[in-house]
Structure 1
Amino acid sequence: MTAARRILIYGVYGAGKSTLAARLAQRLGLPWYPVDDLLWLPGWVEVPVAEQRRRIEEICRRDTWIIDGAYHGWRDVPLARADLVVALDYPRWRSFWRLLRRTLRRLGTGEMICNGNRESLGSVLSGDSILLWHVAAFGRARRRMRAWQADPAGPPVLLFANPAALDDWLAGLPTR
């Protein structure tokens, strides 16, 4: 792990990718590039996929980085350069509960998420709700993480099935 300088954190919505990225960045002294900041413009306007890919390619050419997600239009880019993938393969109930709790907190506080965007009751109740995205994406994300871990040609994948195992791993990491 001490040699890992390019880290991809992967998991379903609500698993804790951004929280982990912030912790790792502080602990290891690596730069963290929050994916939401790269993918969303103000007003929840999605950055075109070609531009997302260009942005991710630019980051992944660097010697050090932490990225907290990987999406369909450019998932191959960080995978090709990562020294390590940290995969949060928590049970559906745990990640959904975390997502629901976070969403309700953000609705109540008006917390800014990225580029001035905030969650709203309308967005949570819409057909594009992050809660619905979680339900739809959970199985695919889980299969993807497990396939990556089984692929000897890819980067090493640490697959965590629960937060306690992740915390134990984090406790053993060096600090900068």
Structure 2
Amino acid sequence: MNAPSRILIYGVHGSGKSTLAETLAQRLGLPWYPVDDLLWEPGWVEVPVPVQRDRIEAICRRDRWILDGSYHGWRDVPLARADLVIGLDYPRGLSFRRLWRRTMRRLSTGEEICNGNRESLGSVLSWDSVLRWHLTGYARERARMRAWHADPAGPPVLLFDTPEALESWLAGLPR
């Protein structure tokens, strides 16, 4: 496979999409566009889906990019342009533990995320909690990755079911 220049990273919340995107951006010299920064304004105001789609379309028209997620309303856009999709198809327990640790760290440190927002105890306990999203979306996201992988009409999809398998693949990339 030639070095990909348009990469979509996909997985459930907490699987490590952003961490992988940052690593690949450094290794491959590709620009990384953190999806959450495109979807959330300060104060946890969600950008309207048509505006999200416009933003994603503008990025995907470029020749080089990494996106660390893909959501409703515009999932088709990066999928149609990607040279490679990387699916982080980790077991539920692993990704949920990672998400839990990340969420607890952010709560304790007040770390700013996506345009100056911060996770709070209220957001973690809310109906729209990222923890709840993980629990309710896990099977659906996993099935979607596997369907993409099985579809010969789509872009190539690499599925990694363990962090070790991903690390082994990364070890073969240029440094």
TM over 0.5: yes
Q: Percent identity?
A: 77
Read off the aligned partner of 2:149 and give its amino acid letter.
Q
Q: How does 1:75-94 map to 2 (within 5 A)?
A: 75-94=75-94
Read off the aligned partner of 2:124 and give its amino acid letter.
V
Q: 2 CA distance for matches of 1:26 and 1:4?
A: 14
Read off the aligned partner of 1:34 and give its amino acid letter.
P
Q: 1 CA distance for matches of 2:121 and 2:166?
A: 32
Read off the aligned partner of 1:93 and give its amino acid letter.
G
Residues 9 and 85 in structure 1, CA contact (< 8 A), matched pair in contact too: yes
Per the TM alignment, residue 174 of structure 1 is displaced from its structure 2 partner at its CA by 1.7
Look up the match of 1:107: 107
Q: 1 CA distance for matches of 2:163 and 2:3?
A: 23
Look up the match of 2:10: 10
TM-score by length of 2: 0.99
Q: How does 1:88-167 map to 2 (within 5 A)?
A: 88-167=88-167
Q: 2 CA distance for matches of 1:126 and 1:7?
A: 32
**Secondary structure, in 3 states, of the residue corresponding to 2:13?**
coil
Q: 1 CA distance for matches of 2:134 and 2:114?
A: 19
Residues 13 and 134 in structure 1, CA contact (< 8 A), matched pair in contact too: yes
Q: 2 CA distance for matches of 1:38 and 1:101?
A: 24
Look up the match of 1:25: 25
Q: 2 CA distance for matches of 1:145 and 1:166?
A: 15
Residues 38 and 55 in structure 1, CA contact (< 8 A), matched pair in contact too: yes
Per the TM alignment, residue 2 of structure 1 is displaced from its structure 2 partner at its CA by 3.6
Q: 1 CA distance for matches of 2:130 and 2:15?
A: 13
Look up the match of 2:64: 64
**Secondary structure, in 3 states, of the residue corresponding to 1:8?**
strand
Q: Which runs of 4+ in 1 moved over 4 A?
A: none
Per the TM alignment, residue 3 of structure 1 is displaced from its structure 2 partner at its CA by 2.7
Read off the aligned partner of 2:102 and give its amino acid letter.
R
Per the TM alignment, residue 115 of structure 1 is displaced from its structure 2 partner at its CA by 0.5
Count of aligned residue pairs for this structure pair: 175
Any unmatched runs of 5+ in structure 1?
A: none
Residues 2 and 174 in structure 1, CA contact (< 8 A), matched pair in contact too: no
Q: 2 CA distance for matches of 1:128 and 1:52?
A: 19
RMSD (CA atoms): 0.6
Any unmatched runs of 5+ in structure 2?
A: none
Q: 2 CA distance for matches of 1:146 and 1:167?
A: 20
TM-score by length of 1: 0.98
Offset from partner CA, 1:116-169 (integer Å, 9 cap, x none): 100000000111110000000000000000000000000000000000000000
